[in-house]
Each structure stands twice: as structure tokens, then as C-alpha cells.
Structure 1
């Protein structure tokens, strides 16, 4: 395996109205498009999906989606996400 370094700072938003802040936080970091990963559909059932999409839209952040992501996903699902991300970047 090749040697490498990875630096992945993480900012966690937690608490009331955190979802509504997502779009602004992403925009302020200079990101213009995101890949959103979802599981089996509970995000739509509980309203989180619509709130996330609205926040992103309100701040002009584009998105693409990958549904059906499970904990410890198969390599095939990860590759699907890579393809979606690359296509979105190039398209």
C-alpha cells in the first residue's frame, strides 16, 4: 500500500434547528455541491429529507443523492457513490 496522510477536520452541528443551518455552513465553507447519503427511507418519513433539501436550496448548494446506504456498506455501494460523485462533478 502507498503511504499517505489524511487530514479530515469535522464540524458537528447538533441541537434545535441544526438541520436548517446545514446549507449556510456548507456554503460558508466554499462547497457548491454535495453528495447526500441516505438509508432505507426513514429520512423521508420523518421529514429530515425535506428540511435538508430546503436548507441546501435556500443557500444555493446543489446536491446529488445516493439511497440505500447501510452501515458498513458493500464495496459495490461505495463505488456507486464514487460514480455518482464523479458524474456530478463533471456534469
Structure 2
């Protein structure tokens, strides 16, 4: 769970997740949305993969990234449970 919080703490990674919410994208398409080097974007994508927030699938010469919602749903469920007072 710690990897998830680390991944979500960074605004660049949150923007990547927002982009992937709209559509699957390859690393070049993602990098085109930012003013930073491709290795920097690759590092962000690796952190998101380690946190299990994105899937990466090789398609020909490209790796296509997609949003993986299961971990996010688990986090939202946990946060929702924490906000319920007096319920067990």
C-alpha cells in the first residue's frame, strides 16, 4: 500500500493517471503531454507499475499503458470505511 501512496503523492503521476483515464497511451504519447525528458516519464511510469496502478502491454515496438482501477477501488473502499463513525 505504501507504493500506492508514494505514486499518488506526485502531481506528474496523478496527471499521467488522469490521461490514462481517458484512453490507453504509449510512453511517447504520454511524454508529449509533459515538458520533461522521456527517461523521467519512464521513471514515473515504472513507479506507477510498481504500485500496480497501471498495466503495460507490449504492442509491436511500443508499450501501451492503461489505467488499472482495482487498486484505486480498494483505496477508495478503505477510505470510505475509515470515514464511517460508530459502525463496525
Q: Could you tell me the TM-score, scaled by structure 1's length?
A: 0.29
Give 1 or 2: higher strand fraction.
Answer: 2
User: TM-score when scaled to structure 2?
Assistant: 0.29
Is the helix fraction higher in 1 or 2? 2
